[in-house]
Amino acid sequence: MERAIVLAASAIGAGLAMIAGVGPGIGQGFAAGKAAEAVGRQPEARGAVTSTMLFGCAVAESTGIYGLVVALILLFANPLVGLL
């Protein structure tokens, strides 16, 4: 019974942890929009703008990745079950 409660709470917690994906989504959308603006203004700088945008996006993504790692730990390597 206790085990079932812990497992259910872990599954809910993993789902809640993925709410962290909202932030990077907004941030990356903002960055991509600005990059599109920049390419529109200066089409010849397209390569530099694109690589800078990808770099910035990948760095901005890390908070979402933290949420994902928490969710993966809760689902596949749950430390809470061992505490029972």
Partner 1 sequence: MLYGMVTDVMGERYMGFAPYIGTLFLFSIVGSLSALTGMRPITADLSVILAWTVVTFLLIQANNIKNHGVFGWLKSFTEPVPFITPLNIISEIANPVSMTFRHFGNIAAGLVITSLVYGGLASLSAAVFSRIPNDFFASIPIFQVGLPAVLSVYFDLFTSFLQTYIICMLTMVFVQGAGE
Residues that bind partner 1 (CB under 8 A): 54-55, 58-59, 61-62, 65-66, 68-69, 72
Between 7 and 68, name the residue whose CB sits nearer to partner 1.
Answer: 68
What tokens appear for 61 in the block? 């993504």
Q: Would you say 5 or 29 has its CB closer to partner 1?
A: 29
Residue 58 identity: A
The distance of closest approach from Cβ of residue 46 to partner 1 in the complex, given in angstroms and rounded to an integer, is: 17
Residue 55 token pair = 């770099």
Closest CB 59 distance from partner 1, rounded Å: 7
Residue 26 C-beta: closest distance to partner 1, Å = 18
Residue 1 or 77 having the CB closest to partner 1? 77
Q: How far apart are CA 71 and CA 77, in angstroms?
A: 10
- Beta carbons of 17 and 64 less than 8 angstroms apart: no
Alpha-carbon distance of 69 to 63, in angstroms, equals: 10
